[in-house]
Structure 1
Amino acid sequence: MKAKKYGIIFSFLVFIILSISSVKAYAAEDAIPSIQIKVTLNKDGSAIITEVWEVQGVSSGTEYYKALNNMEGRKVHSFSVRESGKLYTALDKWNKKLSREEKKGTSGILTKSDGYELCWGIGDYGDHTYTLQYTIDNLVQNYGEYAGFYHQFISKLSSAPKAIAISIQMEDEAFDQQNARIWGYGFDGKVAIHSDGSLTVNSNKALDRKDYVNVLCRFDQSLFPNAAVAKISFEELQNSANDKGINPLIVILIVIGFIGGGIGLIGFFYSRYKLSDNTVVHLPSYKKININYSIPFGGNIPAIYAALKLLRQGISYSQLMGVYLILLQEANYISIDKRTKKSKMEESILFKTEHITATNLEQLLFDLLMEEADHDNILWSSDIIKNATKISQKLKQWEKKVNNEGIKELSRLGMVEEKNGTIRFTRQGFDKAIMILGLKKYLSELTHQSEHVNKELWGDYLVIATMFNMGEKVLKAFEVIDKSYYNGFVNHYGCNTYSMIYFMSMTSHISNSTVMNADGTGGSTFSSGGGGFSGGGGGGSR
């Protein structure tokens, strides 16, 4: 009976996929050779966007359009179109039913329930170069720790562009690695923090019809003092961008949800955990997680790491590496700093080989990285990037050892049990694991919890915060809470007040250099990205 049931579901999925793939789209032009986009950001978070569309061989249709969906909390206005120096007439209301001749030389905004469509008349058939300009209010928003945006600049068009180029800038400020980060998703290309103070996005090759161009940017909050306040944190925004795929089980649940009207089943099952005694528990929502000040599992990093993986809240191996780099720096086994290489300053790790009494996992990471160091025992960030593939493979093996050690510790503490090859939390273990999320919540709101901060736990807090990509934020909170104590605290790491923040930044840069543009300072784009972006929805001729 079960096999028959699953067979029906599978057949239904296949039917949907085949139905979607059988729908053909016919372009009304021969090609879109290029789309160039210039984004000028203002301190209030608004953006003036100028796009130049080069199209060839338009042979049918009456208008072009660009959809901007998912625009909650944002407003689009001041839309204009120019061609050959001539400004199109802006209409108060756009009517898609008008003829090509009636639409010629005109433009307008079509407001929809899920966003906007920027529309303009095709004009005469043939080749065109259209210059669009429009303003998006609240593109950049205040996400608490940082300002930023996640926007789809290019989505599925009538013809996929052969080349795209995007420049993001401010009139009175220059972007650099100290105040900005950029990531790209959905296409083969590169992003960069340019020497002229702009952020750039460029394709490496012609886009396919399935490609899209999503851009995630992060900025120092001080650059956008008047930006609207977002409903989520930047970490949550970035997590949604990095969510590259969906579990096949979730796909089946979505279909079941649509059939039975039970979309809520998706979240229900994903947050569901079976314990070692076969009872079922659910992960509480963020709002219902109690703030926790203590360090779970005695501060054992492998145990905390393994528990997060069992909660399906796992962190990347590069974040784990960052945690251990801080521990090695604190123990004075390494020194992370900027040093001179070929007349230029570069981030690096100096390995100190004398009198090492590190833990096994610390020693393994130390040896792994030192293998890539030069004859002076220095590992340069440029060499990490150059050998990222080889180093990342070694780090993945090291990460497995960390997880295995963590499972052993959790088992010793009675927090997990193994049955038939499956590791499950005990009730006590699940409750303790939730405390990790409570600590994460506490650290994310640290400046509002200053009266509860136990200064003796600052070192542990810094390590856990680094695990969640909040190290710099927590350090800044420490300084605000107690400046005098903070000065002594950073000396423990061989730093002063200024260099400690810089050390944390370098630690993040170096650990993230092992993966493709993970730190947002430039490099290759990711082939796919998750939801949560503004913009998108298609466009082109019709």
Structure 2
Amino acid sequence: MKNKNRKFLLSLVLAIILIFARTSFADEIYSIDISADIDENGLAHVTEVWKTNEDSFDATEKYKVISDLNGIKIRDFKVSRNGEDFTEIKPWNLDLSFEEKKNHYGMIQKENGLELCWGITEFGENTYTLTYTIDPIVVGLNDYDMVYYRFIKENLEPLPDFISMTINSYKPFADETSLWAFGFQGNIENKDGKIIAKSSGDVNYGLVMLRMPKGTFATSLKIDQDFDYYKEMAIENSDFENNSYDNSSDEEISDYDQDADDHYEDEDYDGDFNAYDYFDQGPSFWNFGGFFSILPILFSGLIAGIFIKNKNESDSFRPINKEVLKNPKEFKEEYFREIPYQGPVEDTYLINLYAYKTNSFENYMNAFLLKWVYQGVVEFGEEDEKILFMTHTISYIKLIQKPEDMSLVESSFYDILQECETYTDDGKITQKEIEEYVRDHKRIPEVLSRKLSKNSLDKLCQGQYLSNEKTKKKFAFSNDSYNNNVKIEEKGLELYENFIKFKNYLADYSLIKERDINEVKLWDSFMIYAAIYGISKEVYKNFTEIYPEYEKMSYFDYYMIANINSYSHFVSQSFNNAANNFENSSHGGFSSFSGGGGSFGGGSGGSGGGSR
């Protein structure tokens, strides 16, 4: 009797285990193979083949989320299973039963997106075929045609074991087509005019980015942006970006912006800034050359990330009446003999950009450093460090006191140095502390760069040099959802021309003879502008060639000027690292497991689809 009871109980336990084991099995997606055929008008006719194992008996349907369409339409959706066509239910009803959804499909419209839905129909292994049209998939930009589409959204449950995305065109893709893939471990290539991306490891999502010559497709979707606008979003946090891990939160960045803005408001700046005020404090009798020779080591890591987005920034502030701006060459042998703008030099950033088409943040930083060295508010030094049996010299910067009369971006840059100081035990900021700070706050340099452009626009508008009418963006992919419609006003046109003529004056050493050697303080303030023009070495040589006494009377020397220029060149090469990595991969190769922000058909967060 006991044996019978024991056998019965054992059988019952086994039955329960089998039942619960069966119902707890998870669905599987073995593979998703996507083929997109793009016609001459940029429409993609898509076929997706899902090979799955349906094992969740509580589920009644499969679904795929497509979000952030931003003007793109999805139409002509159809589904078949194992070769059998389904019938559409319009609109799709989530509350239908398993039997009612069987052999049917439909769509659910969402805000700026939709869900493609179909009934599971039968549990076990299935092959579903989805077809639909992306109208259009090609985006016409100012400089290129682009495909930037997330075919498989993140948070698909379960994630597929394998994905492939094949893109065909009405004519083979040319060799100059640039191509990138994001969201999975694998590769992408242009094979005989056909773009093929395949996973070879883990899959998170599936995104393809293509850059083609402008006019390749007659697409109806036009966006007033250059390709670099999307490239920089794609690079961020991708494997193409050096040191892509970012530990700084959006809240932290917002706080940083607010702190800097609060500082500027506390300044009570009334627009009466005098360039000579840069030199209110007495000179430091330190070795300027030694100080500036260590700057490349100390700041290369800090500034490397600042410039990647600057082209995007310049596009955002491009004047709508730029035709009124003459080429600087038209002002040859025309001169303006005084500092053209009586305000913080950083305010002139956009004027400098309009005139010389260069993103020269480093030149403005050099101007800040010249001021601080002059004021004696920073100290440099060297000390020996022993590693194993070797002794080598390391350099450091020490902040003595806070500079006076700081403008907005100058103050923000100084705040960064103060943050770096907190990483030290003795206040000596070495390369180690700079690197630690950058590793923990990677997006802060970008904030500083954006602040330079925005502050310049705000101050020049306040001074009625520019005007700006903001309009809501039709396609917004960042926190900045407005377009700047910047106009050069008559006063701004005069500043622009005087800005160019003043550079001509500084570069023409023969005109310096007009000045009195007793105006050395004035000449030193001229050196600030020489720094933002990027001609400080030439100007210093001109000054000393005309008046050799200047070298003794000035707070600067040629060795320091030369080193600050070397520093600028060093920084300029550093900032391109991430962008160059991106371009170097543009002919195919490995995919990036992360990155690709701002794409169409994707978006971050939320479900990517699965069973329900």
* TM-score w.r.t. length of structure 1: 0.51
Asked if 1:535 corresponds to 2:601, the answer is yes
Query: Residue 161 of structure 1: SS of its match in structure 2?
Result: coil
1:165 alignment counterpart:
164
| CA gap 1:28/1:43 in 2 versus in 1, 3 angstroms | farther
For 1:513 and 1:71, locate their aligned partners in 2 and report how far apart those are by CA, in whole Å. 27
Query: Residue 188 of structure 1: SS of its match in structure 2?
Result: strand
For 2:143 and 2:600, locate their aligned partners in 1 and report how far apart those are by CA, in whole Å. 20
Q: What displacement does 1:214 show?
A: 2.2
Would you say how many aligned residue pairs link Structure 1 and Structure 2? 335
Q: Residue type matched to 1:48 in 2?
A: H
| CA gap 1:78/1:70 in 2 versus in 1, 3 angstroms | same
Q: What displacement does 1:160 show?
A: 1.2
Q: What displacement does 1:45 show?
A: 2.5
Query: Residue 76 of structure 2: SS of its match in structure 1?
Result: strand
Query: Residue 186 of structure 1: SS of its match in structure 2?
Result: strand
- What CA deviation, in whole Å up to 9, does each residue of 1:128-174 have, x standing for no partner? 00010111112211121111132222222221111111111112x11
1:67 alignment counterpart:
65
Asked if 1:204 corresponds to 2:200, the answer is yes
Q: What displacement does 1:520 show?
A: 1.4
Q: What displacement does 1:206 show?
A: 3.8
1:429-440 superposed matches below 5 A: 434=453
Would you say the 8 A contact 1:138–1:228 is kept in 2?
A: yes
Asked if 1:136 corresponds to 2:94, the answer is no
Q: What displacement does 1:184 show?
A: 1.5
Q: What displacement does 1:512 show?
A: 8.4
For 1:226 and 1:120, locate their aligned partners in 2 and report how far apart those are by CA, in whole Å. 30
Q: 2:212 aligns with which of 202, 205, 219?
A: 219
Q: What displacement does 1:307 show?
A: 11
2:5 alignment counterpart:
none
Q: Residue type matched to 1:86 in 2?
A: E
For 2:101 and 2:87, locate their aligned partners in 1 and report how far apart those are by CA, in whole Å. 10
Asked if 1:241 corresponds to 2:241, the answer is no
- What CA deviation, in whole Å up to 9, does each residue of 1:419-473 have, x standing for no partner? 55499995498699649999xxxxxxxxxx9xx999xx9xxxxxxxxxxxxxxxx
Q: What displacement does 1:127 show?
A: 0.6
Q: What displacement does 1:249 show?
A: 4.6
Query: Residue 228 of structure 1: SS of its match in structure 2?
Result: coil
1:31 alignment counterpart:
28
Query: Residue 229 of structure 2: SS of its match in structure 1?
Result: helix
- What CA deviation, in whole Å up to 9, does each residue of 1:321-378 have, x standing for no partner? xxxxxxxxxxxxxxxxxxxxxxxxxxxxxxxxxxxxxxxxxxxxxxxxxxxxxxxxxx
Q: What displacement does 1:312 show?
A: 6.4
For 2:592 and 2:236, locate their aligned partners in 1 and report how far apart those are by CA, in whole Å. 11
Q: What displacement does 1:123 show?
A: 0.6
For 1:271 and 1:177, locate their aligned partners in 2 and report how far apart those are by CA, in whole Å. 47
Q: What displacement does 1:278 show?
A: 7.2
Q: What displacement does 1:522 show?
A: 0.7
1:328-343 superposed matches below 5 A: none
For 1:73 and 1:32, locate their aligned partners in 2 and report how far apart those are by CA, in whole Å. 30
Query: Residue 231 of structure 2: SS of its match in structure 1?
Result: helix
Query: Residue 114 of structure 2: SS of its match in structure 1?
Result: strand
Asked if 1:521 corresponds to 2:587, the answer is yes
For 1:428 and 1:268, locate their aligned partners in 2 and report how far apart those are by CA, in whole Å. 10
1:90 alignment counterpart:
88
Identical pairs, percent? 27
Q: What displacement does 1:191 show?
A: 1.3
- What CA deviation, in whole Å up to 9, does each residue of 1:85-107 have, x standing for no partner? 22111222101111111111111
- What CA deviation, in whole Å up to 9, does each residue of 1:9-57 have, x standing for no partner? xxxxxxxxxxxxxxxxx99744211110011112322211111000024
Asked if 1:187 corresponds to 2:187, the answer is no
| CA gap 1:84/1:534 in 2 versus in 1, 3 angstroms | same
Q: What displacement does 1:235 show?
A: 1.3
Unaligned runs of 5+ in 2: 1-22, 238-243, 271-294, 310-359, 379-397, 411-448, 458-487, 501-575
Q: Residue type matched to 2:225 in 1?
A: I
Would you say the 8 A contact 2:157–2:611 is kept in 1?
A: yes
Q: What displacement does 1:59 show?
A: 3.4
Would you say the 8 A contact 1:149–1:217 is kept in 2?
A: yes
For 1:168 and 1:144, locate their aligned partners in 2 and report how far apart those are by CA, in whole Å. 23
1:53 alignment counterpart:
50
For 2:245 and 2:577, locate their aligned partners in 1 and report how far apart those are by CA, in whole Å. 27
Q: Residue type matched to 1:32 in 2?
A: I
| CA gap 1:126/1:267 in 2 versus in 1, 3 angstroms | farther
Would you say the 8 A contact 1:416–1:429 is kept in 2?
A: no
Would you say the 8 A contact 1:28–1:158 is kept in 2?
A: no
1:397 alignment counterpart:
none
Structure of greater Rg? 2
Unaligned runs of 5+ in 1: 1-25, 255-264, 282-301, 317-401, 439-448, 458-509
2:326 alignment counterpart:
none
For 2:94 and 2:374, locate their aligned partners in 1 and report how far apart those are by CA, in whole Å. 62
For 2:119 and 2:405, locate their aligned partners in 1 and report how far apart those are by CA, in whole Å. 62
1:311-350 superposed matches below 5 A: 313-315=306-308
For 2:150 and 2:374, locate their aligned partners in 1 and report how far apart those are by CA, in whole Å. 43
* TM-score w.r.t. length of structure 2: 0.46
Taking only aligned residues, the RMSD between alpha carbons, in angstroms, comes to 4.9
